[in-house]
Protein backbone atom coordinates (compact mmCIF):
# COMPACT_ATOMS: atom_id res chain seq x y z
CA UNK A 1 0.00 0.00 0.00
CA UNK A 2 1.27 3.43 -0.93
CA UNK A 3 0.97 5.88 2.00
CA UNK A 4 1.68 9.59 2.42
CA UNK A 5 2.26 11.81 5.44
CA UNK A 6 1.57 15.50 4.96
CA UNK A 7 3.80 17.75 7.06
CA UNK A 8 2.29 21.24 7.43
CA UNK A 9 2.98 24.55 9.17
CA UNK A 10 -0.46 25.61 10.38
CA UNK A 11 -1.46 29.31 10.45
CA UNK A 12 -4.19 31.27 12.24
CA UNK A 13 -6.56 31.11 9.25
CA UNK A 14 -8.65 28.01 8.65
CA UNK A 15 -9.19 29.07 5.04
CA UNK A 16 -5.44 29.19 4.40
CA UNK A 17 -4.94 25.87 6.19
CA UNK A 18 -7.69 24.23 4.14
CA UNK A 19 -5.92 25.33 0.96
CA UNK A 20 -2.61 23.91 2.27
CA UNK A 21 -4.25 20.60 3.09
CA UNK A 22 -5.95 20.33 -0.29
CA UNK A 23 -2.65 21.02 -2.05
CA UNK A 24 -0.81 18.31 -0.11
CA UNK A 25 -3.61 15.81 -0.62
CA UNK A 26 -3.49 16.44 -4.37
CA UNK A 27 0.28 15.88 -4.37
CA UNK A 28 -0.14 12.69 -2.34
CA UNK A 29 -2.71 11.37 -4.79
CA UNK A 30 -0.39 12.19 -7.67
CA UNK A 31 2.24 10.10 -5.88
CA UNK A 32 -0.10 7.12 -5.81
CA UNK A 33 -1.05 7.25 -2.12
CA UNK A 34 -4.06 5.26 -0.96
CA UNK A 35 -3.75 6.42 2.67
CA UNK A 36 -3.00 10.08 3.44
CA UNK A 37 -2.33 11.27 7.00
CA UNK A 38 -2.21 14.95 8.00
CA UNK A 39 -1.13 16.30 11.41
CA UNK A 40 -3.04 17.15 14.58
CA UNK A 41 -4.85 20.47 15.00
CA UNK A 42 -4.79 21.46 11.34
CA UNK A 43 -7.81 23.77 11.51
CA UNK A 44 -6.01 26.80 13.01
CA UNK A 45 -3.21 27.62 15.42
CA UNK A 46 -1.57 30.71 16.93
CA UNK A 47 1.49 29.99 19.12
CA UNK A 48 1.20 33.45 20.69
CA UNK A 49 -2.45 32.88 21.67
CA UNK A 50 -3.24 29.43 23.11
CA UNK A 51 -6.99 30.20 23.18
CA UNK A 52 -7.08 30.69 19.40
CA UNK A 53 -7.71 26.96 18.96
CA UNK A 54 -10.85 27.23 21.09
CA UNK A 55 -12.23 30.31 19.34
CA UNK A 56 -11.70 28.78 15.89
CA UNK A 57 -13.08 25.29 16.65
CA UNK A 58 -15.75 24.08 14.21
CA UNK A 59 -18.35 21.31 14.24
CA UNK A 60 -17.75 18.29 12.05
CA UNK A 61 -20.27 19.61 9.53
CA UNK A 62 -18.52 23.00 9.45
CA UNK A 63 -16.74 24.43 6.40
CA UNK A 64 -13.27 23.06 7.18
CA UNK A 65 -14.13 19.37 7.42
CA UNK A 66 -16.77 19.72 4.70
CA UNK A 67 -14.14 21.33 2.47
CA UNK A 68 -11.91 18.26 2.78
CA UNK A 69 -14.57 15.66 2.05
CA UNK A 70 -14.33 15.85 -1.78
CA UNK A 71 -10.54 15.47 -1.57
CA UNK A 72 -10.96 12.03 0.03
CA UNK A 73 -12.34 10.54 -3.19
CA UNK A 74 -10.25 7.50 -4.03
CA UNK A 75 -8.26 7.51 -0.77
CA UNK A 76 -8.53 7.19 3.00
CA UNK A 77 -7.70 10.50 4.69
CA UNK A 78 -6.97 10.99 8.41
CA UNK A 79 -6.28 14.17 10.40
CA UNK A 80 -7.22 15.93 13.66
CA UNK A 81 -9.40 19.02 14.17
CA UNK A 82 -10.90 20.88 17.13
CA UNK A 83 -14.65 20.31 17.58
CA UNK A 84 -16.65 22.28 20.20
CA UNK A 85 -17.98 20.12 23.03
CA UNK A 86 -20.90 22.45 23.82
CA UNK A 87 -19.64 23.09 27.36
CA UNK A 88 -16.87 25.62 26.84
CA UNK A 89 -14.07 23.32 25.68
CA UNK A 90 -13.44 21.29 22.52
CA UNK A 91 -12.67 17.70 21.61
CA UNK A 92 -9.40 17.03 19.81
CA UNK A 93 -11.04 14.87 17.17
CA UNK A 94 -9.31 12.51 14.77
CA UNK A 95 -11.38 12.33 11.59
CA UNK A 96 -11.21 9.57 9.00
CA UNK A 97 -12.72 10.08 5.53
CA UNK A 98 -12.92 7.79 2.55
CA UNK A 99 -14.42 8.33 -0.90
CA UNK A 100 -16.12 11.58 0.09
CA UNK A 101 -17.66 10.23 3.29
CA UNK A 102 -16.75 10.73 6.95
CA UNK A 103 -16.40 7.14 8.17
CA UNK A 104 -14.98 7.39 11.71
CA UNK A 105 -14.02 9.79 14.49
CA UNK A 106 -11.92 9.39 17.61
CA UNK A 107 -11.71 11.88 20.49
CA UNK A 108 -8.21 12.00 21.97
CA UNK A 109 -8.10 10.05 25.24
CA UNK A 110 -4.88 11.32 26.79
CA UNK A 111 -4.56 15.06 27.30
CA UNK A 112 -1.12 16.66 27.38
CA UNK A 113 -0.99 17.85 30.98
CA UNK A 114 2.79 17.53 31.09
CA UNK A 115 6.00 19.54 30.63
CA UNK A 116 4.27 22.68 31.97
CA UNK A 117 1.39 22.32 29.47
CA UNK A 118 -2.25 21.79 30.46
CA UNK A 119 -4.38 20.71 27.53
CA UNK A 120 -7.30 19.90 29.83
CA UNK A 121 -7.91 23.64 30.31
CA UNK A 122 -9.25 23.81 26.75
CA UNK A 123 -9.82 20.20 25.70
CA UNK A 124 -12.39 17.68 26.93
CA UNK A 125 -11.08 14.09 26.89
CA UNK A 126 -12.61 11.30 24.86
CA UNK A 127 -14.01 8.17 26.49
CA UNK A 128 -13.94 5.60 23.69
CA UNK A 129 -11.14 3.58 22.17
CA UNK A 130 -10.07 4.41 18.61
CA UNK A 131 -11.26 2.42 15.60
CA UNK A 132 -9.55 -0.14 13.41
CA UNK A 133 -10.55 0.20 9.75
CA UNK A 134 -9.76 -1.78 6.62
CA UNK A 135 -8.23 -0.34 3.47
CA UNK A 136 -7.37 -2.66 0.61
CA UNK A 137 -5.67 -5.67 2.27
CA UNK A 138 -4.47 -3.92 5.45
CA UNK A 139 -6.08 -2.91 8.74
CA UNK A 140 -5.40 0.55 10.16
CA UNK A 141 -5.65 1.74 13.77
CA UNK A 142 -5.51 5.32 14.99
CA UNK A 143 -4.25 7.39 17.92
CA UNK A 144 -3.39 11.05 18.49
CA UNK A 145 -0.04 12.62 19.50
CA UNK A 146 0.36 12.23 23.32
CA UNK A 147 -1.47 8.88 23.10
CA UNK A 148 1.76 7.41 21.72
CA UNK A 149 3.33 7.63 25.20
CA UNK A 150 0.76 5.09 26.45
CA UNK A 151 1.51 1.61 25.09
CA UNK A 152 -1.93 0.27 26.01
CA UNK A 153 -3.62 1.96 23.04
CA UNK A 154 -1.15 0.58 20.50
CA UNK A 155 -1.41 -2.91 21.99
CA UNK A 156 -5.21 -2.67 21.93
CA UNK A 157 -5.10 -1.69 18.24
CA UNK A 158 -2.67 -4.49 17.36
CA UNK A 159 -4.82 -7.08 19.10
CA UNK A 160 -7.84 -5.67 17.25
CA UNK A 161 -6.02 -6.53 14.03
CA UNK A 162 -4.15 -3.35 13.10
CA UNK A 163 -1.28 -3.74 10.64
CA UNK A 164 -0.69 0.03 10.55
CA UNK A 165 -1.00 2.53 13.40
CA UNK A 166 -1.57 6.14 12.35
CA UNK A 167 -0.47 9.00 14.65
CA UNK A 168 -1.37 12.59 13.67
CA UNK A 169 0.58 14.90 15.98
CA UNK A 170 1.65 18.41 16.90
CA UNK A 171 4.69 17.44 18.99
CA UNK A 172 6.00 20.41 20.95
CA UNK A 173 9.63 21.45 20.77
CA UNK A 174 11.75 21.06 23.90
CA UNK A 175 14.87 19.39 25.28
CA UNK A 176 15.02 15.83 24.02
CA UNK A 177 11.53 15.99 22.48
CA UNK A 178 12.61 14.90 18.98
CA UNK A 179 14.21 11.82 20.53
CA UNK A 180 11.10 11.10 22.61
CA UNK A 181 8.99 11.22 19.43
CA UNK A 182 11.18 8.80 17.50
CA UNK A 183 11.64 6.43 20.45
CA UNK A 184 7.92 6.25 21.16
CA UNK A 185 6.95 5.68 17.53
CA UNK A 186 9.63 3.01 17.13
CA UNK A 187 8.68 1.31 20.40
CA UNK A 188 5.01 1.14 19.46
CA UNK A 189 5.98 -0.36 16.09
CA UNK A 190 8.46 -2.91 17.45
CA UNK A 191 6.48 -4.10 20.47
CA UNK A 192 3.40 -4.69 18.29
CA UNK A 193 5.08 -5.58 14.97
CA UNK A 194 3.05 -2.90 13.17
CA UNK A 195 3.92 -0.17 10.73
CA UNK A 196 3.62 3.19 12.53
CA UNK A 197 2.98 6.44 10.65
CA UNK A 198 3.61 9.67 12.57
CA UNK A 199 2.53 12.88 10.79
CA UNK A 200 3.79 16.03 12.52
CA UNK A 201 2.93 19.74 12.40
CA UNK A 202 6.06 21.80 11.68
CA UNK A 203 5.14 25.34 12.73
CA UNK A 204 7.25 27.49 15.05
CA UNK A 205 6.36 25.57 18.22
CA UNK A 206 6.31 21.98 16.90
CA UNK A 207 9.02 19.64 15.63
CA UNK A 208 7.60 18.26 12.37
CA UNK A 209 9.82 15.17 11.96
CA UNK A 210 7.14 13.06 10.30
CA UNK A 211 8.26 9.47 9.89
CA UNK A 212 7.29 5.97 8.89
CA UNK A 213 8.52 3.08 11.06
CA UNK A 214 8.58 -0.55 9.96
CA UNK A 215 7.35 -3.49 12.12
CA UNK A 216 10.86 -4.07 13.52
CA UNK A 217 11.22 -0.46 14.67
CA UNK A 218 13.33 0.86 11.78
CA UNK A 219 12.71 4.36 10.36
CA UNK A 220 12.18 3.78 6.64
CA UNK A 221 11.15 7.31 5.62
CA UNK A 222 11.24 10.67 7.40
CA UNK A 223 11.15 14.43 6.96
CA UNK A 224 12.91 17.14 8.96
CA UNK A 225 11.38 20.49 9.93
CA UNK A 226 10.08 21.82 6.60
CA UNK A 227 6.61 21.35 5.07
CA UNK A 228 6.23 18.59 2.51
CA UNK A 229 5.28 14.96 1.99
CA UNK A 230 6.70 11.63 3.13
CA UNK A 231 5.62 8.92 0.69
CA UNK A 232 6.43 5.23 1.04
CA UNK A 233 5.08 1.82 0.02
CA UNK A 234 4.19 -0.55 2.87
CA UNK A 235 4.58 -4.25 2.13
CA UNK A 236 2.18 -6.63 3.84
CA UNK A 237 4.61 -9.50 3.23
CA UNK A 238 7.26 -7.63 5.25
CA UNK A 239 4.84 -7.28 8.15
CA UNK A 240 3.86 -10.95 7.99
CA UNK A 241 7.53 -11.99 8.05
CA UNK A 242 8.22 -9.73 11.04
CA UNK A 243 5.34 -11.34 12.92
CA UNK A 244 6.62 -14.82 12.12
CA UNK A 245 10.15 -13.95 13.22
CA UNK A 246 9.07 -11.99 16.30
CA UNK A 247 5.69 -13.37 17.47
CA UNK A 248 5.28 -11.03 20.44
CA UNK A 249 1.52 -10.78 19.99
CA UNK A 250 1.28 -14.56 20.33
CA UNK A 251 3.87 -14.87 23.12
CA UNK A 252 2.41 -12.21 25.43
CA UNK A 253 1.20 -13.30 28.89
CA UNK A 254 -1.04 -10.31 29.68
CA UNK A 255 -4.69 -9.79 28.88
CA UNK A 256 -5.77 -7.25 26.30
CA UNK A 257 -5.80 -3.64 27.59
CA UNK A 258 -9.14 -2.08 28.53
CA UNK A 259 -10.15 1.45 29.45
CA UNK A 260 -10.27 2.09 33.19
CA UNK A 261 -13.84 3.37 32.91
CA UNK A 262 -16.52 3.62 30.25
CA UNK A 263 -18.00 6.73 31.88
CA UNK A 264 -18.79 9.63 29.60
CA UNK A 265 -18.28 12.22 32.34
CA UNK A 266 -15.98 15.22 31.98
Q: How confident is the model at residue 266 (pLDDT cuts 50, 70, 90)?
A: very low
Catalytic residue among 80, 105, 108, 182: 108
Catalytic residue among 29, 40, 119, 202: 40
* Closest to 24 in 3D by CA, of 235, 213, 165, 231: 231
Q: Average pLDDT of 215-220?
A: 98
Q: 5-60 pLDDT, tens per residue?
A: 999 999 999 999 999 999 999 999 999 999 999 999 999 999 999 999 999 999 99
73 is catalytic: no
* pLDDT reading at 262 higher than 80: no
Instruction: Sketch the domain layout of the chain as residue ranges.
Output: 2-251
* Closest to 92 in 3D by CA, of 43, 47, 48: 43
- The pairing of strands 138-142 and 164-169 is parallel
Termini Cα distance of the chain: 39
* pLDDT reading at 115 higher than 90: yes
pLDDT at 263: 41
Q: Name the percent of the chain lying above pLDDT 70.
A: 98
Distance CA 44, CA 201 (A): 11
DSSP 137: T
* Closest to 193 in 3D by CA, of 241, 134, 133, 144: 241
Mean pLDDT (the chain, rounded)? 96
Q: What is the CATH number of domain 2-251?
A: 3.60.110.10
pLDDT at 264: 38
Q: Name the percent of the chain lying above pLDDT 90.
A: 97
Q: How confident is the model at residue 265 (pLDDT cuts 50, 70, 90)?
A: very low
108 is catalytic: yes
Q: 67-105 pLDDT, tens per residue?
A: 999 999 999 999 999 999 999 999 999 999 999 999 999
Q: How confident is the model at residue 261 (pLDDT cuts 50, 70, 90)?
A: confident
119 is catalytic: no
* Closest to 263 in 3D by CA, of 132, 127, 147, 63: 127
Q: 132-152 pLDDT, tens per residue?
A: 999 999 999 999 999 999 999
Amino acid sequence: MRVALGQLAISTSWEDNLALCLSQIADAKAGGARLVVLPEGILARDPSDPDHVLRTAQPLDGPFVSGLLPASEGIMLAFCVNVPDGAGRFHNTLVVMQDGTLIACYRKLHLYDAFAMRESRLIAPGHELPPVLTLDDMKIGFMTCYDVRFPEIARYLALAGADIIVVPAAWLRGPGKERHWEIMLAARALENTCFVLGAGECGPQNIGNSMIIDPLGVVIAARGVSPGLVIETLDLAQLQKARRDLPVLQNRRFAAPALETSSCGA
